[in-house]
Every structure is written in structure tokens, then in C-alpha cells.
A and B are shown apart, each in its own frame.
Chain A
Amino acid sequence: MNKEKKGPISNELFTLLVFVILFLSVLAAFSMLNRNFFSVRNMLNILKHVSVIAIAALGLTFVIAVGHADISFYMTSCFSAMLMSWLIARGLSPLLCIAAGIAGGLVWGAFSGFVVGRYKLPDKISTIAIGSIAFGMAYLFSDGAFIYTNFTSSGITDLNNARLFGIPVPVLIMAALYLAAYVVMERSKYGRQFYSVGYNKKAAFFSGIGVDRVIVVAFVVCSAMAAVSTMITSAAQGNGNVKSGLTLLMPCFSAVYIGFAVFKKPSVIGTFLGAVFTAMIQNGFTLMSVPFYYSDMVVSGLLILAILFSRFELSSQLARRPKQQKEGR
């Protein structure tokens, strides 16, 4: 019993290693199946696709980190995108429109945050309701029709296609947001507060942390990030589409949970790896002209496998240790 053998590498490293091997083998498989996969152009394509998923998933990471779930972000993001498109059609400057879209995200996030953090309503159902209201509001701007007006002339599509040092702007936005989020989550006191609330709300409360506030902030960040992500989609497509955010739910949850499985906590780097992995698989399938719905299947399969994998490891770990039981008084 006492001879607990420590392997040459720790559990975390082993998980990471497995993930990297998996990642590389998927890359290899795709490049063998399709010569265009490794082309610069496709790589940039993948990166653009990654940035959409990764930014929204980054926001979700905050909510999962505080121990909650948000099922509204992909619907509130539709509202933000439509608000932006509507303002663009009114002829406002694109930066102002983007700011308005983000503000819309903030408001919806604050709504969800207050309902869940302050009034303690169950997170899943209330966010479904709030998301649905936001989605309904998104129809307000054009009654559900696409908004094309002014899109090309306002400069927002140019903004999307612009490059800095050869890197597309959305990718730069993603990089900046991830850098900021990494610093906040891993290096700042705010990150500590998010994680401590997620790990143990009561203990965080007894350590003087304003639990309610932290939860509200997490929901606000989540909604704002989702807004950014869907506005990028709109700019890329050159129109405002009510349903442009609806495809985000699955890949975002799978990105966060793949990262969760690899790093044993919802983390910025983990989510990024998960998002890259998810987007790459979706792209690889598209390149091979496999229909989109199969990639859906693969993504959900991936989500299940990632969690299964972490569960198996956990159970083998538990089996090695003596049974943990609550101490008696």
C-alpha cells in the first residue's frame, strides 16, 4: 500500500504529452489526406476560424472557472452582432458600432450575472431564458432579415481583412485578448479570486472575497467576449445575420472542457489548445469536403472523449490512494 510508485513523469505532464501526440497525429492525418492543409493560406484560414471560436470560448472559461455554466452567450452574441450591423447601416463609424456591440454584450452579461450571482437563480435555466430574450431582441433590428447596408463601404469588412505584419486583424485581437486573459487569470489577484470562487465558494467568502461580484464579472466577460467573436463573424461574412452566433455553443463548451481535461482546471492556455484543436478538426473536414455535420459529430465525440479520458485517469489515481473519507469528529 505504501509503495506508491512515482512514475518518471507526473500525471499532468503525461496528460499534456498524450494531448500533444494526439494533436500531432491529427495534423499528420489531415496533411496526408489533403495537400492543401499545410499551405500558408489554409493555415491563415484555420487561424481565422480559431479566433472566432477561441474568443468566445475564452469568455466561457471565466464562467466555468467560477463554477457556473452560461448557456446564453451564443444567443446574446447574436444580439450584439445585429446591434452592430444595424448601427453600421445607420452610417455610424465602425469603431463606434463595435463599441456598441460590446456594450450590448456587457448589459446582457450583467443581467445574467445578477440573476445568477446576486439572486441565486439556477444558472443553466436562467441563462437559457435570458439568452432567448436576447435572441428575440436581435430580431428587433431587421425582423430577422440580413443587414447588408453599408457593410462594405463602412470599412468594417476591410478591418476584418486587414493585416498587421502579415497577420489578420481577428487573429491579432484573439492574441491580445488571450494575453490579457492569461495575465489576469494566472498572474493577477483577480484570477485568484475567480478560481477561489470556483473551487470553494464558501471558503472564498470567508477569505473576504465578494463572491457575488466575482460571479457577475465572469458572466459579463463571457457575454462581451462572445459579442466580439460574433461581430468578427459578421464582419467576415459582410452582413448581419441573426443566426450567426448560434453555431458557437458546441465548439466553445468542447474547447473549454478539452482544456479542463488536459490541465485539470478551466484555464486560458487549455481553452486555447481546445479551441485550436476543435477548429482544426472542423477545418480539416471542410477541406476534405466532408459536410459540416460530420464535424459536429466529431466535436461532440471529442468532448465526450476528453472528459472520459480525464475521468479514467482520476479513477486510477484514486485507486492507488487509500480511500479518502471524511474525517470523523
Chain B
Amino acid sequence: MSEYRLEMKGIVKEFLSMRALDNADFRLKEGEVHALLGINGAGKSTMIKVLSGVYQKDSGKIFIDGRELEIGNPADAIKAGISTVYQDPQVVPSFTGYENIYLGAENNKKTFFSALNRKAMREKAKKLLEEFPLDVDIDKPVYLLSAIEREIIAVLRALSKRSNILILDEPTSILTEKERQILFDLVRLLKSKGVSIIYITHHLDEVSEICDAMTIFRNGQTVASLPVEKGKVETEQIAELMLGKKLTALYPPKAEEPGTEVLFEARDLNLGGKFEHISFAAKRGEIYGIFGLVGSGIDEISKVLYGAMYKSSGELLAHGRRLALRSTAQALKNGIFLVPGDRKAEGQIGDMPITMNLTIAKMQRIVNRLGLVRRRKENALSEEMVQKLSIATPSIQKKVGELSGGNQQKTVIGKGLFTEADIYIFTEPTVGVDVGAKSGIYEIMRELSKTAAVIIISSDCEEVFGMADRAQVIYKGKCTFESETRLTTLHQMLVHAVSFEAPAGRAV
């Protein structure tokens, strides 16, 4: 018997051109709660997806109880006693809680046409609930449940598999404080039963509260694996491990003097259930930042600013005029452009060539009076844009879907520049972008801010801190903090992103 329940050695995973995991290691003992820490893109999510069979590793080895194991698909992982609760749990909306808990494991028989005993399933689920006292109505169809209740259903589904290893992927991101305590009690209970738990989080206070050990990822590598002494987490040290020393070099210098002319203003924006009382003013000549964790409402804010979602109330002003945005086309007409957060689904048309992607948002510039495209002009303008943004491609006719993440994102930005807007909103501009292209994108944003108002909305604190001249922090849809970034610290911003009034130094 090995000392470790799980060992992952030298795991390598590459996506098209990026190394998401570069010789990463991980060890997990029996009955241990082990935190995985790291900034966005550090590789922790990829690591657990390799472990749970969603991705296949390119090289490296996985040992369970000392035996080497190949995990080719999710079913393999489940068989090996690994179950996962993802950030976005998948449920069947019209099924009841217990039906969802036992989806695919309704009874012990193998055949499709074996009788389904809902009563027995319900009893089993009830027993499970007695064992793990969680507050959820398992008799309701899950579409009537709240987000936390769905999460609990997903946790129960994982628990019902009686796994030895449970992966929790940022389980508290949508929970209230009370619900968090319920979850922690559950984690302690599981621990006492000998279950090993991998706990992914952004919150250091959670680590000190329930974790026994932590492993820190950076750039796809394991940088440290430390035990956790109860209640003592060296915030400074860990932040340094997570961020590395290269912090300043990545970002271009900030604006020398504050902007003067207000181009874009939001006054008391509300969207029911998503965010409330959001106000800010973006000026020509500087970058305004909005930082919040995933699920805090920042994505919805960006969409409301662009007319892609209706707001419940509040005012938007561009160039001093009040806007009533009902569509993205109107936003574009008013000189607003959004680089959406989900590049593949919302930003690019992967099956179209670069040139068509660049020009699609303002085709008036390349068509004649009959609406026919002037090819030569289009190509010339596209070439110019590709040069300007240094998009690495053999030809402007290459399909965007075939480019690397960084060049895809530059194409989306190029689409915005082509519209000649003067208000730019960047949502998660560097997700899935490698470091080299990252600094390129930052340069573009800074250059752009000299003549336009630029807003960066991101769940990457470092990025907002590094890029924005002024910024606000969103927690659960509310602004908790606003400041000039040179007057504050990264830590202070992070603290406000995880609680309404967190004492300084408790969180990273």
C-alpha cells in the first residue's frame, strides 16, 4: 500500500499551441482535504479534468493506491473511485432531485428495461441525506431549485458513488456564508470517513479553515506543496507563489495623467438577480477596470453595457447622450464595442476567414452603394489591421478557428478597431491566451486608451490591477470597492472580491 491515495507525476497537457500543464505533480493522502491554488490559467482546472477523464493527458502517470492507472473517459474515473462536482453542475431540469442524484445508477441491474423503483431511489436518497445532512428538497424538479440546491444535488450525486476521491471545483463561488458553513461541515464529515478531497478555490480563508494541505500551480507547473497549520496561512508568501515575480513586466505603463473627457457613463445599473447599483464613468485617455470573480455578475454587466441584455433599471450615457440600448447594433452605432467574455461562442465566427471576421461589424466601410463588397479595399484594410495587431497568420484568408487563442482574440479586437468605436469594453481579454500574446493584447489596449475610453472587465485580479487606472470590485453583483489602482494593492482588491467586509489579509 502506498502512502498516497493518489499520485500524479509529470503530467503534460497541450492545447493547440499552449502548454496548459507542464510537468505538473500532485499527491493526495487518505482522508486529506487538499487545496489547489493558482490564478486563472495556472492549470489547476486542467489538472482535475485530466484526473476526471474529461481531458486525456499527453504524458505523465497517474497512480491510485500505488497502482498505475489509465483514465481515458469519465466512466474510467468513476470506476476508479474519483468523482467530481464541477463548477457548473449538469442536471436534467424536469427530473426530481433524487432522480438526478441517481441518474445512470438507478438500480443495480444492467439492462435498460429493468424496472425503475422511484420509491426505493427516494429512500436511498433520503438515507444519503441522513448521512450527510444537507438542506435540499429532493422531491422537487430541479429547475425549481436555486443554484446552491442544484450544486448540492451534484454533490450528492458524487457522494452516492461512494468515491474515495472527491473533487470540488470552486464549490463556494455561488454560496452564501451560511451555505458555505454547511458545505464545510460536510467536508469535515467526509474527511472523518476517510474520503480524500481535492478542493479548488480562490479563497485563502477557506484553505485555512478546512484544508490540511495545499498545492500551488503557476503556468502549468507545481510551484509548491505545503501543509496547512490550522488557521495560519502565510498570505504574502502564498500570493507571491501564485503570482510569481514577473508581475510588473507584463503590463505597459499606466496613463501619466488622469483622463478628462467622460465618454461612457453608467448610473445605478440594475439587472434583477444578477447585479445592482453599478455606476462608473470611463474617460478618454485611461482604462477603467471592473474586477469580480466568475459568477459575481461581471459578465452580465458587460452585456448590459453593450445592449446584449436588457437592464432592469438605470441609465447609460455615451458622449453625454442618454442611450436606450435595445440591440448590439445600436451600441455599435453609438461607438461602443464589446470584446465578449466567451471568445469561441460569442466573439469569433470560427468557420469564416480572418478578413470577414475583421470587417463584419462595420461592413459599411467596405461596401459600395449597392451593398456589394469591394474586395480589394476589404483585403487592404484587413492586411493593415493584421499588421497593426501583429496577428500571426500566413494569410488573411485563413479561418479564425484554426488560429491560436491569442491570435483569435486579436482578431476579435481587430473587429472592434475596424468599427472605429471610441468606447471599448474588454471582457476576460486574455482567457486561453498564452503569455506572449497576452502582453501584446495589453499593449494594444493601452495604445487604444490614448484615444478612446477603455473598460476592462475581468475575473483575473492581477490583470485588472495591472491594466486599469481606476477600478471597482464586484462581489455578488454589488460594488464593494472603488479606487485608483496606484493607490491600492492587489490584495486589497482581492479581499473585496470575496466578501463584503473581509478583514485585510484573510484572503488572496
Contact = CB atoms under 8 A, between A and B. Distances in A.
Contact of A207 (B49, B56, B361, B372): B361
A189 interface: yes
Interface string A108-131: 000000000000000000000000
A204 B327 CA distance: 12
Interface stretch (B109-117, B237-245, B347-355): B347-355
Interface in B326-358: 327-329, 331-332, 338, 340, 344-352, 356
A187 B372 CA distance: 6
B352 A196 contact: yes
A329 B341 CA distance: 12
Contacts of A202: 345-346
B372 A208 contact: no
A325 B55 contact: yes
Interface residues of A, number: 28
Contact of B328 (A188, A205, A324): A205
A279 B411 CA distance: 43
B292 interface: no
Nearest to A212: B327
A199 interface: yes
Given A195-B352, A325-B15, A328-B20, A209 B372 contact: no
B363 interface: yes
A203 B348 CA distance: 6
A196 B45 contact: no
Given A203-B347, A203-B349, A210 B329 contact: yes
Contacts of A329: 40-41, 45, 431-432
Interface in A192-222: 192, 195-196, 199-200, 202-210
B360 interface: yes
Interface of B is mostly: mixed
Contacts of A207: 328, 349, 360-361, 415
B55 A196 contact: no
A190 interface: yes
Interface in B422-442: 431-432
A207 B362 CA distance: 8
A32 B20 CA distance: 61
Contacts of B40: 329
A260 to B, nearest CB: 13
Contact of B349 (A196, A208, A328): A196
Contacts of A325: 15, 55
B504 interface: no
A60 to B, nearest CB: 20
A183 interface: yes
B352 A183 contact: no
B272 interface: no
A328 B367 contact: no
Interface in B363-422: 363, 366-367, 370-373, 405, 415
A327 interface: yes
Given A200-B345, A202-B345, A205-B328, A327 B405 contact: yes
9 contacts: A187-B372, A190-B371, A192-B356, A196-B352, A205-B308, A206-B338, A210-B329, A325-B15, A329-B41
Given A189-B372, A207-B328, A323-B56, 5 more contacts: A188-B367, A190-B371, A206-B347, A327-B405, A328-B13
